[in-house]
Structure formats: structure tokens, C-alpha cells
Amino acid sequence: MKNSTSTQDTLHLTGPGKHLNFARGSYLESTSRPLYALLFLLPLVIVYEIGALTVNTDQIAHTQSRVATFTWLLAVAQWIGMNRTLIWAFPGLVVALILFCWHMVSHDPWHVRVKWIGGMAVESVLMTLPLFLLGSIMQSSLNFAAASPVSSYLADLTTSIGAGIYEELVFRFILMGLIIMFMEDLVKAKKTTAVFVAVGLSALLFAAHHYVGIENGHFRAISSEQFTAPSFIFRTMAGVYFALLFRYRGFGIIAGTHAAYDMINFTLKLF
């Protein structure tokens, strides 16, 4: 009974909060639900999965591997013995199943307003503004990588979508949830302490994974990313920002905001 209650509390702590008292059925309350996140992100998942096979943005073609979290999920699929021809679909299937099951246990209504899906896209773009403002103040967010040639621009956009979905899935949804459960169930920490540790630790690991990757079970430096204190601080603060968005606006908005930020950033570099 204790474990069931703790798991339910963790879902509320890591998912969109109810304490802001959004009106039931309003845009803000409804679009924080997992069903809206699923419908909003499903087209992006499909675009990324197709792009991963056609524009070589991951290790399927053993070329670029910038979306490390996607390749981690591919490794899990290989580890459990999934058919090699189906491995490419595993990460997207994980996203869809998590959001679908989350919706089922939340007992939220199935009714959806299609126009609000478009509103989530607009909101995601608007939510990038604090990140660009922070980056402008720190003079670091637009200097992570060299400008990309037009020939690789589609690959960069595809990578942006994958980063938004799979990095937020791993670092916000999964990692934060595991840290909170560990802190509450084993360390017996208070809820506020558990959330504080989860937000901070997940943000630090999110920033660090941009500089160090895992290959064949060993850590290695990522050649395309040079560690700098400003970029690490910016990414850590961005991780905290994404955690807050996840808490108050749900998984769909943070994944959309992350993807939109990266896409706009690559577009600015192109020009």
C-alpha cells in the first residue's frame, strides 16, 4: 500500500502539477495531460524516425549520433533481443506507450480539441524566448556549434526533433521520476527535498551528456562539443527550466519547446 501511494505521488510530482488550479477543461489544464502530449508529439516522433533512416542523424547508419538518448534506447532494444529490422521503431514506441499508459491511469477524458494541438505548437515556440534571453545574457547559447551547410540543415532539424523528444523523456520523465522514488522510498526524504534533488541532478546530467558519450560501454568525449563553463552553465539552467515546464505544463510542451529551440538555433546558424 505504501509503494502504491508513493508511485502515485511521484507521478504527480514529476508530471504537470494540479496546484496551479487551472480551470478543469481549460486549455492550460487540458494540454498538460498525457493524451494531448501523445497527439502533439506523435507526428514529430514519426518525422524523426523516418528522418533517422533517410538523413542519417543517428547510429543506424553509423554516422552522426548527436541524439545520444535515442541511441541509448536503441541499445536497450538490442539488449532485449528485438528484431533488428524493428529496432529503429523502439524509441518512438516507448514514447507512445508511456504517454498512453499514463493517460489510462490518470483517468482523464478522451475528448480532444484539435485546435489546441496547434496552440501547443505556438506555445512551444513562445516558451523558447526565456532560453534565448538567457543565452543572450550569457552570450553562449548561439555558439555551441559551427554554422551548418545547407546540405546538412535537414539533418540538423531532424536531430532537433529527436533531442526534444528523447532527451526530455530520459532526463525529465524517467530520470527525475527514478530520483524522486529513490529519495522518498529509500532515503525517506521529504517530497520537496526529493524534487529539488531530482531537478538539480537531472539538469547537471543533462548538461554533462552533451560533452561525454557512451560507446561500447565506455565513456568518451564528444568531438563535436568542446566543454566550456558558460555552455555547461547555460545547459544546466536550461535543464532546470525544462523541469519547471514539465512540472507545470506537461511532457508535450517541454519536448516541443526543446525541439523548437534547437530548430530555431540551427536556422539562425544557417543564416
**How much is the pLDDT for 6?**
45
Task: Read off the pLDDT band of 181 (50, 70, 90).
Answer: very high
Distance CA 208, CA 206 (A): 6
**What value does the mean pLDDT take over residues 65-77?**
77
pTM of the model: 0.84
Helix (H, G, I), strand (E, B) or coil at 22: coil
**How much is the pLDDT for 57?**
52
Lowest mean pLDDT of 85-89, 168-172, 175-179, 239-243, name the range: 85-89
**What value does the mean pLDDT take over residues 100-114?**
92
When divided into structural domains, the chain yields a total of 1
pLDDT over 50 (residue 11): no
**What value does the mean pLDDT take over residues 39-51?**
92
What pLDDT digit, counting tens, does each position of 120-167 carry?
999 999 999 999 999 888 875 445 555 555 557 888 888 899 999 999
Q: Give, rounded to a whole angstrom, the gap between the first and last alpha carbons of the chain.
A: 57
**What value does the mean pLDDT take over residues 203-222?**
74
* Stronger pLDDT, 201 or 221, i.e. the higher one: 201
Task: Read off the pLDDT band of 13 (50, 70, 90).
Answer: very low
Classify the phi-psi angles of 250: left when phi > 0, otherwise alpha if psi is within -120 to 50, otherwise beta: left
**How much is the pLDDT for 24?**
82
**How much is the pLDDT for 242?**
97
* Stronger pLDDT, 18 or 264, i.e. the higher one: 264
Answer yes or no: are the C-beta atoms of 178 and 151 closer than 8 Å: no
DSSP 110: -
Nearest Cα neighbor of 180 from 17, 34, 18, 6 is 6
Task: Read off the pLDDT band of 5 (50, 70, 90).
Answer: very low
**How much is the pLDDT for 256?**
97
Domain encompassing residue 34: 2-270
* Stronger pLDDT, 192 or 7, i.e. the higher one: 192
pLDDT over 90 (residue 240): yes
**Average of per-residue pLDDT values in the chain:** 82
pLDDT over 90 (residue 244): yes
Nearest Cα neighbor of 2 from 186, 176, 199 is 186
pLDDT over 60 (residue 194): yes
Distance CA 256, CA 128 (A): 9
